[in-house]
Structure 1
Amino acid sequence: MNDAVTPPRSMDVTSVFPELAAHARTTVRLHPVPANPGPRESSVGGPPAWPENEAWPTCPGGRHPRHGPPHRPVNVRGERSTVFAYHGEITWDGIPPDTSWPLLPVLQVFARDVPWYDGFPEGMDVLQILWCPFQHFYDDPTVPYNGIAGPWVQIRYRNTGDLGDRFLTPPEPVAVGEPGYLPTPCLLRPEPVTEYPHPGVLGEEFEARVEEWEQATFADPEWPEDGEPRYSWDLSTAPGWKLGGHEPWNYHGYDGPVRCGTCGSAMRFVAAIASIEWDGGTESWAPVAFLEGSPTAQLRRQQATHVSLGKQETMRVFACPLSTDHPVISDLM
């Protein structure tokens, strides 16, 4: 039985704001759960369907000396398990200058598992997201940059008919910059959910109406009582790992669409890579079964992937709709 089911919203927000109906989108919540996925399965952090005769991508930025102390992947995994054999520290001085830095598989999704998602380019039915497990800084001209001081992201699309039968075993970097940049392998339990956008998408006047409604409806708009829905937390965008739909809100409100740095086109929101599946403000989105058991059990469900970005933030990944060759843009919120 699949218990990864989002509870219904406590109210139909379109009954208050009918104009939102035209802006509804379907997101696919991924609900990752730790497992041992294979290359032909949709997964977080699992081995991707990467043809054996195709070179595995590496970070062109070389060494990442501005980053803090490196971490051995085997130690990171060991600290997450019940059996931990320590393999010793690693330092930058102990890493040869000509060391190559393989990217890490972050997310693989087959179209057959997410029939509600319409973001695959024509002729493609596999999405693969990889990243360099070190922060890339905007002011360092020697390394590529997506738009934030965080892991450098690449997207690959494939057609299952071109995959063949033999897959490459991904090489592992000798170190990662942060333990939270190494995803724990997980299988996915995709679920379609309806979302609505940041109110700024509909203009300043609409944004003011939402604020006025909350002020008039709830006793304390800043500190809601249990069951009192807030547009930003409960009625608009789902938290956690997801594919498509509306992008999570950023810190600064709505600043207009994210634009491609190459052609200026409004970019398409591809995925949210989350440090946590829900928090105190977004708990209404948590499947009921996920809130059962001890606090430790709940925490395991909240942080199944062990990905940690910034201060428990979510990475938003955007792609150009006109060309898969144009660089990805990502940010944190």
Structure 2
Amino acid sequence: MPIDAERVRPAVLLNPLAGDPTDADSHIGGPMLWPIDDPWPHCDGSAHDPSSGGEPFVGAVQLYRRDFPELPFPDGTDVLQVFLCTLHHDLPNGYGPDVRLVWRDSTTVFELIEEEPEPSEQVEQYVPTVNVLEPIRFAEHGDKVSGGTKIGGWTAWSGPVEFPCVRCGAVQRQTLSLATHEPSGEDVEWEFGDAGNLNVLTCPEDVTHPVAVYVD
């Protein structure tokens, strides 16, 4: 039986492994390439605990174009930085961390921040361990969705769901999925929902438009 090409999407398992990355590497939970004169992302006060407004985000994932050309990098950028507010926030189907994406040109960063700010309080289940990445590329069928932290591919919806971009109305598409459990067994030690995935969807017209976040 022929495979329906419209049901197949390219995907990249990040395949995290314990390691010691630098800010010049792609990684999970390692140091971020962050310029000293750029304000660090902070929570907008939408977390459940009202006393925690303004907490700094945590650098969760950093991905360079040279390692992951599959990502939809805007022109003039070569690194994607994913930040989590490691407090409970309301999501469409439950709660989880807030997500902030930063698309950056690494060649414009000359002096790094001296020390990344740390939240005074956070939900430990959202905090990653430090990992390097050994990516595995594959084609993912919409009827057989893989687990694991990945770029692209399909979302394991618990029901039919679409997220229109709040800025232009285009239907958003999964760009990154962060997993509680990895196929290799080398888990990052964060947990989302009922041991599921935190899915980050971006606008296909412009990835700098606001993202949608969904826990499967």
Could you say if the C-alpha distance between residues 326 and 171 of structure 1 is closer, same or farther in structure 2, counting changes exceeding 3 Å? same
Q: CA deviation at 1:98?
A: 7.9
Whole-angstrom CA distance in 2 between matches of 1:62 and 1:20? 42
Whole-angstrom CA distance in 2 between matches of 1:33 and 1:113? 16
Contact 2:52 2:121 in 1 (8 A): no
**Structure 1 runs, 4 residues or longer, greater than 3 Å off:** 97-100
TM-score, normalised relative to structure 1: 0.60
Counterpart selection for 2:148 from 224, 240, 248: 240
Q: CA deviation at 1:162?
A: 1.6
Counterpart selection for 1:187 from 98, 115, 132: 132
Matched, 1:32 2:16: yes
Q: Secondary structure at the match of 2:97?
A: strand
Could you say if the C-alpha distance between residues 27 and 168 of structure 1 is closer, same or farther in structure 2, counting changes exceeding 3 Å? farther
Q: CA deviation at 1:186?
A: 0.7
2:122 alignment counterpart: 176
Could you say if the C-alpha distance between residues 183 and 106 of structure 1 is closer, same or farther in structure 2, counting changes exceeding 3 Å? same
Contact 2:93 2:215 in 1 (8 A): no
Could you say if the C-alpha distance between residues 19 and 170 of structure 1 is closer, same or farther in structure 2, counting changes exceeding 3 Å? same
Contact 2:155 2:174 in 1 (8 A): no
Counterpart selection for 1:321 from 178, 201, 204: 204
Whole-angstrom CA distance in 2 between matches of 1:197 and 1:176? 35
TM-score, normalised relative to structure 2: 0.89
Contact 2:86 2:122 in 1 (8 A): yes
Q: Which amino acid aligns with 1:21?
A: A
Q: Which amino acid aligns with 2:20?
A: N
Q: Secondary structure at the match of 2:107?
A: helix
Q: Deviations over 1:195-232 (max 9, x none)?
A: 1224xxxxxxxxxxxxxxxxxxxxxxxxxxxxxxxxxx
Could you say if the C-alpha distance between residues 110 and 119 of structure 1 is closer, same or farther in structure 2, counting changes exceeding 3 Å? same
Q: Which amino acid aligns with 2:83?
A: L
1:65 alignment counterpart: 49
Count of residue pairs the alignment pairs up: 216
Q: Deviations over 1:103-135 (max 9, x none)?
A: 0111110011123x1421222211111111111
Return the structure number with greater helix share. 1
Structure 1 gap ranges (5+): 1-15, 67-96, 139-145, 199-235, 279-289, 291-297
Q: Deviations over 1:254-279 (max 9, x none)?
A: 44x4311232111131101000014x
2:84 alignment counterpart: 131
**More displaced, 99-108 or 308-317?**
99-108
Whole-angstrom CA distance in 2 between matches of 1:251 and 1:310? 12
Could you say if the C-alpha distance between residues 263 and 22 of structure 1 is closer, same or farther in structure 2, counting changes exceeding 3 Å? closer
Structure 2 gap ranges (5+): none
Q: Which amino acid aligns with 1:263?
A: C
Contact 1:42 1:188 in 2 (8 A): yes
Backbone CA RMSD of aligned residues: 2.2
**More displaced, 322-331 or 128-137?**
322-331
Could you say if the C-alpha distance between residues 53 and 59 of structure 1 is closer, same or farther in structure 2, counting changes exceeding 3 Å? same
Q: Which amino acid aligns with 1:277?
A: E
Q: CA deviation at 1:163?
A: 2.0
> Which structure has the greater CA radius of gyration?
1
